[in-house]
Amino acid sequence: MKRRAFQLLAVVSMGCCALTLRSARRPHYGGTLRAEVGAAVLSIDPAFPTDTAEQNNVREKLLALMCDRLVTLEEHGQPKPALATSWQAAAGYKLWSFRLRPNVMAQDGAPLTADDIVSVLEAANPRWRIAAATNPDGSTMLNIELPGADPSLPAELAMPRNFVFRRSANGSLVGTGPFQVSAWQAGHQAVFSAFDAAWQGRPFVDSIELKMGRAVRDRLIDLETGKADFVDVPPDEARRAADRGARIRASLPDELLSLEFSRGPRAAEDPAFRHALALSIDRSALVNFVLQRQGEAAGSPLPQWSSGTAFLFAAAPDPAQTKQLAAQFQSVPALLLGYDGANALEKAVAERIAVNAREAGIHVNVQAESGAGNTFDARLVRRRMISPVPRIALTDLLLQWAPLEGADIAPLSDPAAPEDLYARERAAIENDRVIPLVYLPETFGLSARMRDWKSPLPASGDGWPLAQVWLEGEGP
Amino acid sequence: MRFLPAAIPIRQSLQRQIVFRITTLLILLSVGVAQTSRAQQPTQPTSLWDSPVRELVFKLAGAASLRGNGALEVQNMCSLDASAVALIQHSLLVQLSSRGFRLMSSPADGSGTPPPPAIDVRVTLSENLAGLIWIAELRSPSGKKIVMLPVGVPPGISASESRPVPLLDRTVIWRQAEPMLDFALVGAPPESSAQLIVLSPERVAFYNLQQSSWRLAASSAIEHAHPWPRDLRGRIEVDSGKLAIYMPGIFCSGTLGTELGLYCAPADDKMWPVDGSNLAHGSVSHGGSLAKLDPARNYFLDSLQSPNAGGAKFAPFYAAALLSVYDLHPVILAGVDSSAQLHEGGDEITAHFSGWGSDIASLNDTCAATSPVLVTGAGDDTSTDTIQIYQIADRQAVAASQPISFAGPVRTLWAASDGNSARAISQNLETGAYEASSISITCGR
């Protein structure tokens, strides 16, 4: 080998570019993370009903800050230990035993007990029979008897409905997660403080100050002016915010926006009419112009990252076939399409669909839903995946769509072969009673000082990774 | 070879929408003999993909006849690289041909338009939550059939290795999916007595070298009553058959041998070695430098005991590098305020170095490098990383090598006890695997 001397390549002078180069890889402790969200969550308690899906979504994220589950999911959707360190099934997946993690401290200073877990899981899953037992070695087992076989129980235990907590004497929630609620003003603001004895380790930031019910404009202004470190941003606003210099991060898409047809004696009851409408929609235009490229065109119930088969479903418009089909519906009344009037994104999507339909010769009127009394032929509906595991997510969608079909849904086999999932996805949309439009991601704005943000696996129940982030300039 | 590139359109996905994740695989370096990363060129024998291809074609043949003239299209919608796709495509041709499929070639002689294929096979290399999934679509006069095959990734298929520049050598010793804090190599492979010790958050594992592969010989759990800090740190020191393991608030000691004995006890006040210089004896009197790690955090507290620093008080720091470059015996501390500070014989800061990462380690003089300091890159856990040699001259930090790159953050950088190399633990962001590397300076290449 050729011998050569070291070369002096660069000189970093004292204090040179200190402001721009001061950075480090190892996390810093300390500081208050300022978060703002649009939803106004009235209670973090899952027993308290929420008004909107957005409120429910944010509440699940907040619960994930303060509570744990028996099991979580790793990045491929496989269960991994959390409050349970191991598990095994018996009796054809009807009986499950979970070994509980020892020495888990709750936020009230007392250890988490098996009874706490039994109580909360029974409330969330009334059909399960749950009992705790102590092994000769002193470890504690949680035994769950199911009404039927369920090979996917560990993955289901990772879902947000199975957060573990106990109730204090005044009824408030006591969790074991990285943060504890230290102040709560319903619908307005909250403070979450770092829990030093969290079994997964204390979070890096000392606290999170959360403002709720903030308008998107105010959230983005606060982000841009350094008054907020973390804000949720509607997908259709994300591109514009990024163009203005905001630091935007998007998850993999986990929310399906689709057209769902009501059952009734209308033109929409004709499958050919629905098919013509489905073929008229330019989903790429929805993604590129309405969503500002935040999202993916959807031709199937599940997104490609989850199923791997979304590409097999056509999502492109077919103008020629549309016109051919639509010709037979020239004299039928216009289809009435409803959307959430409080949601600018849905309004823009609805109007775009009407334009596509009109170009194909189909008459569509769009109208904001204004509570009871509206009778729509079809609605724009957003459905968030309840799990990243395709079988679980699809099962939930099929159950939600069952009333549209007016028929019960046959259960999916477990485990389900990819061909089975594909066939059920295709069957679910083959009569166009549901027309998938786009998959939406969750998008967030982050301050420049927030570090180590890693988007969690969507729909995994892991929530926002705020226990793992740290703030530059804080510390130790 | 019957491979006809012109007849097989391959569409590489322009947007690799899904990040390829292979972390479910426990990627163990089966050949324990040290292998420099420079030598790690991805070479994949065709046979690696033959098995899943055979299975896919078997399923396809079960759905429809493959006999006759046809076209084959392979579409890549995952992050396998072009060389892997080419191997799969070749294997597909072989397997399809064995079942009577005859690939129609393009009319290179301009003799006219060929007849349309009777069989149209399109194979999409897709990816879902669980991993790779291959989907074969077959169109024939009898209709369309689709078969699918979830595919495991053969070991060794991973993100391309970073290659060091000539002056820093990285030798990958071990890879594993489980988080790794530190490692120690006892003896020099290929000696049969060589031993590898791997420290993970919950256990320490001992591997013996058998037939050029590391085999697990024993493992011992590390009991801890208190939760670990999130940015967990740990350190292994081996000296004369004695083993010392430092964890936050815990100290374990034991002896190496056929019978593993490891005793762990709470030790909040235990002083950790923070540099490699003369650490073999592990005490200040013998020249090592020691500091106390905050048991609930990721940094060392204010006191550094060393010949260079005496008992001077400093601000908390992540790492220390002791220099012998000139009479003042300077110390560089990677501080928690994100800057590295030079101290020359006391607690006074005489220079700041910006743009460094939080892990540094000093090595012995080598060739033209006088008191070289290895420095990780700035950034955070979401970005790739580097290690680079710096030298201190006139209170200035001078980059003395090209950086070597890592496919993810360097989470640990400790100088070896002999001061001739450093141990680095990094996490590959593409595979998720943790990689243990020995970093040394190989001047003269």
Q: Given this model, what pLDDT does residue B368 score?
A: 54
pLDDT at A399 over 60: yes
pLDDT at B391 over 90: no
Q: Rounded CA gap, B293 and B18, in Å?
A: 40
Contact A201 B230 (CB under 8 A): yes
Q: Given this model, what pLDDT does residue B10 score?
A: 29
Contact A25 B146 (CB under 8 A): no
Confidence bin at B9 (pLDDT 50/70/90)? very low
Mean pLDDT value of segment A52-80: 95
What percentage of chain B has pLDDT greater than the value 70? 74
* Residue A476: cis peptide before it, omega within 30 degrees of 0: yes
A120-150 burial, b if ≥16 CB within 10 A, otherwise e?
A: bbeebbeebebebeeeeeeebbbebebeeeb
Q: Given this model, what pLDDT does residue B114 score?
A: 64
Q: Find the range with the poorest average confidence among A1-10, A130-139, A460-469, B432-441.
A: A1-10
Which is more confident, A311 or A407? A311
What percentage of chain B has pLDDT greater than the value 90? 36
Q: Find the range with the poorest average confidence among A91-95, A298-302, A392-396.
A: A91-95
pLDDT at A201 over 60: yes
Nearest Cα to Cα of residue A36 among A291, A226, A250: A226
Beta-carbon neighbour count of residue B309 at 10 Å? 25
Q: Find the range with the poorest average confidence among A72-76, A214-218, B226-230, B259-263.
A: B259-263
Q: Which of B223, B370, B380, B391 has the highest number of chain A CBs within 10 A, making it the mutation to test binding with A? A: B380
Cβ neighbours of residue A445 under 8 Å, at least 6 residues apart?
A219, A220, A223, A228, A230, A231, A232, A233, A238, A241, A246, A247, A248
A473 to chain B: closest CA residue: B337
Q: Given this model, what pLDDT does residue B317 score?
A: 92
Read off the pLDDT of residues B69-125 as tens digits, 9 standing for 90 and up. 889 999 998 878 888 888 898 899 999 999 889 888 655 455 556 667 788 999 999
Contact B323, B375 (CB under 8 A): no
Sheet holding B290-293, edge to edge: B271-273, B290-293, B300-305, B317-322, B330-335, B340-344, B349-353
Nearest Cα to Cα of residue A16 among B373, B346, B395, B379: B395
Average pLDDT of every residue of chain A: 90
Secondary structure in 3-state letters for chain B: CCCCHHHCCEEECCCCCCCCCCCCCCCCCCCCCCEEHHHCCCCCCCHHHHHHHHHHHHHHHHHCCCCEEEEEEEEECCCCCHHHHHHHHHHHHHHHHCCCEEECCCCCCCCCCCCCCCEEEEEEEEEECCEEEEEEEEEECCEEEEEEEEECCCCCCCCCCCCCCCCEEEEEEEEECCCCCEEEEECCCCCCCCEEEEECCCEEEEEEEECCEEEEEEEEECCCCCCCCCCCCCEEEEECCEEEEEECCEEEEEECCCCCEEEEEECCCCEEECCCCCHHHCCHHHCCCEEEECCCCCCEEEEEEECCCECCECCCEEEEEECCCCCCCEEEEEECCCCEEEEECCCCEEEEECCEEEEEEECCCECCECCCEEEEECCCCCCCEEEEEEEEECCEEEECCCCEEECCCEEEEEECCCCCEEEEEEECCCCCCEEEEEEEECCCC
Confidence bin at A65 (pLDDT 50/70/90)? very high
Cβ neighbours of residue A473 under 8 Å, at least 6 residues apart?
A28, A31, A449, B338
Confidence bin at A97 (pLDDT 50/70/90)? very high
Q: Given this model, what pLDDT does residue A7 score?
A: 32
Average pLDDT of every residue of chain B: 77
Nearest Cα to Cα of residue A142 among A100, A83, A192: A100
Contact B352 A311 (CB under 8 A): no
Mean pLDDT value of segment A315-337: 84
A17 to chain B: closest CA residue: B354
Estimate to the nearest angstrom the gap between the alpha carbon of B399 and the chain centroid: 24
Q: Given this model, what pLDDT does residue A369 score?
A: 87
Using the structure block, give the residue that is written with the tokens 């790779």. Answer: B132
Confidence bin at A78 (pLDDT 50/70/90)? very high
Residues of chain A positioned with their CB less than 8 A from the CB of B353: 12, 14
Contact A162, A118 (CB under 8 A): no
Mean pLDDT value of segment B280-290: 49
Domain range summary for chain A, segments of one domain joined by +: 32-42+177-251+442-471, 68-173, 255-440
Contact A268, A319 (CB under 8 A): no
CATH number for domain B168-441, candidates 2.40.10, 2.130.10, 2.40.160, 3.30.1490? 2.130.10
Q: Rounded CA gap, B141 and B119, in Å?
A: 8
Encoded tokens for A259: 């057209």
pLDDT at B30 over 80: no
Measure A8 CA to nearest chain B CA, in Å: 5
Nearest Cα to Cα of residue A356 among A303, A434, A435: A435
- The torsion angles phi and psi of A184, rounded to 5 degrees, stand at -145, 120
Q: What letter represents residue B165's amino acid? A: V
Q: Given this model, what pLDDT does residue B308 score?
A: 59
Read off the pLDDT of residues B409-443 as tens digits, 9 standing for 90 and up. 999 999 988 888 899 999 999 889 999 999 988 76
Using the structure block, give the residue that is written with the tokens 């969608």. Answer: A397
Mean pLDDT value of segment A357-368: 91
Residues of chain B positioned with their CB less than 8 A from the CB of A296: 17
Contact A11 B396 (CB under 8 A): yes
Read off the pLDDT of residues A32-41 as tens digits, 9 standing for 90 and up. 999 999 999 9
User: What is the crossing angle of helices A418-429 and A390-405, to 10°?
Assistant: 30
Of B128, B351, B380, the CB nearest to A25: B380
Which part of chain B has CATH 2.130.10? Answer: 168-441
Measure B390 CA to nearest chain A CA, in Å: 9
Read off the pLDDT of residues B201-229 as tens digits, 9 standing for 90 and up. 999 999 988 878 899 989 999 989 899 99
Q: Given this model, what pLDDT does residue B39 score?
A: 31
ipTM over 0.95: no
Q: Rounded CA gap, B238 and B255, in Å?
A: 9
Radius of gyration in angstroms for the set of CA atoms belonging to chain B, rounded to a whole number: 27
What is the model's pTM?
Answer: 0.78
B378 to chain A: closest CA residue: A24
Q: Given this model, what pLDDT does residue B5 score?
A: 29
Confidence bin at B276 (pLDDT 50/70/90)? low
Q: Given this model, what pLDDT does residue A5 score?
A: 33
Mean pLDDT value of segment A361-390: 88
**Which CATH architecture describes the domain A32-42+177-251+442-471?**
3-Layer(aba) Sandwich (3.40)
Measure B187 CA to nearest chain A CA, in Å: 27
pLDDT at B248 over 90: yes
Mean pLDDT value of segment B382-388: 91
Residues of chain A positioned with their CB less than 8 A from the CB of B357: 24-26
Please name every residue paired with A368 in a beta bridge, in sequence order, or none if there are none. Answer: A339
Mean pLDDT value of segment B286-303: 82
Q: Given this model, what pLDDT does residue A120 score?
A: 96
CB pairs under 8 A between A and B: 205
**Which CATH architecture describes the domain A255-440?**
Roll (3.10)
Report chain B's terminal Cα–Cα distance, integer Å: 41
Residues of chain A positioned with their CB less than 8 A from the CB of B355: 12, 17, 21-23
Q: Given this model, what pLDDT does residue B370 score?
A: 67
CA atoms within 13 A on the CB side of B166: 10
Q: Which of B78, B79, B128, B427 has the highest number of chain A CBs within 10 A, making it the mutation to test binding with A? A: B128
pLDDT at B289 over 90: no
Contact A78 B130 (CB under 8 A): yes
Q: Find the range with the poorest average confidence among B14-18, B115-119, B372-376.
A: B14-18
Q: What letter represents residue A10's amino acid? A: A
Q: Which of B127, B165, B230 has the highest number of chain A CBs within 10 A, making it the mutation to test binding with A? A: B230
Residues of chain A positioned with their CB less than 8 A from the CB of B368: 5-6
Contact B392, B369 (CB under 8 A): no
With residues binned 3-state (H G I as helix, E B as strand, rest as coil), the percentages for chain A, rounded to 5, are 30, 25, 45
Q: Which of A7, A11, A12, A19 has the highest number of chain B CBs within 10 A, making it the mutation to test binding with B? A: A12
Q: Rounded CA gap, A316 and A320, in Å?
A: 12
Which is more confident, A410 or B198? B198
Q: Given this model, what pLDDT does residue A370 score?
A: 76
Residues of chain B positioned with their CB less than 8 A from the CB of A426: none
Nearest Cα to Cα of residue B85 among B175, B22, B151: B151
Which is more confident, B255 or A147? A147
Mean pLDDT value of segment A207-230: 97
- Domain A68-173 sits in CATH at 3.90.76.10
Mean pLDDT value of segment A324-343: 84
Read off the pLDDT of residues A178-190 as tens digits, 9 standing for 90 and up. 999 999 999 999 9
Which part of chain B has CATH 3.40.50? Answer: 5-151
Q: Given this model, what pLDDT does residue B367 score?
A: 62
Which is more confident, B171 or B33? B171
Q: Given this model, what pLDDT does residue A193 score?
A: 98
Q: Rounded CA gap, A121 and A115, in Å?
A: 10
Q: Find the range with the poorest average confidence among A8-22, A322-336, B286-300.
A: A8-22
- Domain B5-151 sits in CATH at 3.40.50
**Burial class, B138, CB count within 10 angstroms (exposed 0-12 / middle 13-18 / buried 19+):** buried
pLDDT at A329 over 60: yes
Mean pLDDT value of segment B378-402: 84
